[in-house]
Chains A and B, each alone.
Chain A
Amino acid sequence: MSRRSSAKFFVLGGYAALIFVASACIVTIDASAQEIDNTVAVSSAELDGYVKGMWPNVEAGWEKRLIQDETQALCSHERNMPSAGDAEKIMAREAATIIYPTDGNVVGDWREGEKVAQNGRGGQFSDAPETAHGGNCYACHQLAPAEVSYGTLGPSLAGYGKLHDYGPDAARIAYAKIYNAQATSACSNMPRFGAHEYLTEQQIKDVNAYLFDRESPVNK
């Protein structure tokens, strides 16, 4: 069913939009979480068998989503709390993926950035393939203080540019963070937006402008 085309959903739209679950996020894993001790070990081959059984017939072009890259596999295995040595390895590998704009300008258009920050669509099997990808920043972060619908999985970024004196070095660091958060924080739960080519360079610059432009509602 297409939820968007459902008349009933439309009726509810105004309210549902307020509480609709979006999807991206950053979390700090709660290290104190108590878990049931279990002695059954699962080999990666066994786990792969289950994964294959969960996705036996994958549409062409989607196969690679089933295969973990090295960082994903390591972070899964270490429950997002990598050893110091592994963290170093991950951060070095991920830092190498970051491509800065050739003209050195890491700050784009905050108005476009706001759209990216609000948009949680793209890349889902329910989305048309040409659907523009959103960054869905609000799913996990507070940004503009006037926006009440924000998540708390990531830190609040309200007033971010102002708090950093709109400094060019801080803007470059933030660009890198959006591009690949794991370059500085191994196994961060924040998606590696640039490294996965999920967001374009322009989108990342625009989101960065949402943080760093003096006119942006984030700094109001």
Chain B
Amino acid sequence: MKLNRFLAHIGVATLAAWGLIAHGRAETPSDSSTDSIERYREMINDPMANPAYLNVDRGEALWSEARGTKGVSLEACDLGKGPGVLEGAYAELPRYFDDTNKVMDLEQRLLWCMQTVQELDTTDVLARKFGTPGVSSDMEDLVAFIANKSSGMQYHIPLSHPKEQEAYAVGKELFYRRGSLLDFSCATCHSSDGARIRLQELPNLTKPGPDAQTTLGSWPTYRVSQSQTRTMQNRLWDCYRQMRMPPPEYGSDGLTALMLYLAKQADGGTLNVPSIKR
């Protein structure tokens, strides 16, 4: 653990240095600012230097570790392609599950498997649902490991089950739902082409295609600005934070519905995960 953390620190320090170099190169405002951000992105996009692979390694160990009162590992967990089958599972989530009669995303499903298949008390897992400096997250580790088993594959979200169609429709409503102190919805920032917040480009997520494919195809990701590997549950939590909403419930059906709406827009897009971002 300590060694991993040390390595991660080294990685981040190196990235920070590269970032500063990239910034230092920027000559004049405007055009060159976006160019230098692009150069920075290219420089950090190196799997050999991506600290998220530490999460992948920890996730692999967690996946096969016997835990809970049943003393079994998560290998008994069915992520949609049969118990223990990981290849391609993430590329088809969220999806409908017969045993719960619900649509679930990866994190909601993993929690259910821990609670039901392993009979693990998940209080501690939930307390660490988002990692902090010095405290790793089982969920972030497992998601990095499992998503990586779909890296290079394409999102396949057929919406073939009526419950999936329902969740998609709910997700779409949530996407456009304006509220709180600043009247924001997801659509406020993610419904125009080529728009930016400050210098950050915003994907248009209201339609299927490259914006959604590139975005959804790059989560989970190592966030350099947070020095943590983050999942889609964390990304939506952070969006709602900026929307001035209270923190949404981790693994709730609404977040899954929103994620299914987004994943459908990314249908056919290639996963490249875990990635590394700003």
The answer, yes or no, to whether B81 is at the interface (CB within 8 Å) is no
Q: How far is the CA of A65 from the CA of B20 in the complex (A)?
A: 39
A 1-40 contacts with B by CB, 8 A: 1, 3, 6, 8-9, 11-12, 14-16, 18-25, 27-30, 33-36, 38-40
A15 CB contact (under 8 Å) in B19, B132, B226 = B19
> CB distance A33 to B204 under 8 Å?
yes
Interface residues of A in 25-71 (CB under 8 A from B): 25, 27-30, 33-36, 38-42, 46-47, 50-51, 53-59, 62, 65-68, 71
Taking the nearest CB of chain B, how far is it from the CB of A120, in angstroms? 8
Cα distance, A44 to B38, chains bound together (Å):
42
Interface residues of B, CB < 8 Å — how many? 74
How far apart sit A21 and B242, CA to CA, in the bound complex (Å)?
10
Interface presence of A150 (CB below 8 A): yes
| Complex interface bits, B139-182 against A, C-beta within 8 A gives 1, otherwise 0 | 00000000000000000000000100110111011101111111
In the complex, the answer to whether A3 meets B244 with C-beta atoms within 8 Å is no
Establish whether residues A65 and B193, one from each chain, have CB atoms under 8 Å apart when the complex forms.
Answer: no
Report Cα–Cα, A22/B189, bound state, in Å: 11
Which residues of A164-220 have CB atoms within 8 Å of chain B's CB atoms? 189, 191-192, 196, 198
A191, B183: Cβ atoms closer than 8 Å: yes
Do residues B254 and A50 form an inter-chain contact, with CB atoms below 8 A? yes
Smallest beta-carbon distance A177→chain B, Å: 14
Q: In the complex, are the beta carbons of A196 and B173 less than 8 A apart?
A: no
User: B60-75, CB under 8 A of A: which get 1 and which 0?
Assistant: 0000000000000000
Interface size class of A (residues with CB under 8 A): 35 or more
Q: Hey, which chain B residues are within 8 Å of A34, CB to CB? A: 207-208
Q: Is B206 an interface residue (CB 8 A)?
A: yes
Q: A47-B173, A153-B195 are contacts. A75–B180 as well, Cβ < 8 Å?
A: no
**Residues B198 and A55 in contact, CB atoms below 8 Å apart:** no
Choose one: B196, B244, B255; the contact of A153 (CB below 8 Å): B196
Whether the pair A191, B182 counts as a contact (CB closer than 8 A) is: yes
| Smallest beta-carbon distance A132→chain B, Å | 14
Cα separation A19 to B202 with both chains bound (whole Å): 12
A149 to B33, CA, bound (A): 9
Contacts A30-B193, A65-B245, A152-B195 given; indicate if A80 touches B187 (C-beta within 8 A).
yes
Stretch from B8-16, B89-97, B109-117, B213-221 forming part of the interface with A: B8-16
Set of chain B residues within 8 Å of A159, measured between Cβ atoms: none
C-alpha gap A30/B192 in the complex (Å)? 6
Tell me if A11 and B13 are in contact (CB < 8 A). Answer: yes
* Smallest beta-carbon distance A49→chain B, Å: 9
Q: Is the CB of B191 within 8 A of A54?
A: no
**Are B198 and A150 in contact (CB-based, < 8 A)?**
yes
The verdict on A116 contacting chain B, using a C-beta distance below 8 Å, is no
User: B16 to chain A: which residues have CB within 8 Å?
Assistant: 8, 11-12, 15
Does chain A have a CB within 8 A of B122?
A: no
**A-B pairs with beta carbons under 8 Å apart, 17 shown:** A1-B226, A9-B226, A16-B225, A16-B278, A19-B200, A21-B198, A27-B192, A30-B193, A33-B191, A55-B245, A56-B252, A76-B176, A76-B185, A79-B187, A124-B242, A125-B241, A126-B241
Apart from the given pairs A50-B174, A51-B177, A148-B199, 19 other A-B contacts in the complex at a CB distance below 8 Å: A8-B12, A8-B16, A12-B224, A21-B242, A24-B182, A27-B188, A27-B192, A33-B206, A36-B168, A50-B254, A51-B174, A58-B246, A65-B180, A76-B177, A151-B198, A151-B200, A152-B195, A153-B197, A191-B183
Residues of B within 8 A of A (CB): 9, 12-13, 16, 19-20, 22-23, 29-30, 33, 37, 40, 130, 132-133, 162, 165-166, 168-170, 172-174, 176-185, 187-189, 191-200, 202, 204, 206-208, 224-228, 241-249, 252-255, 257, 264, 278
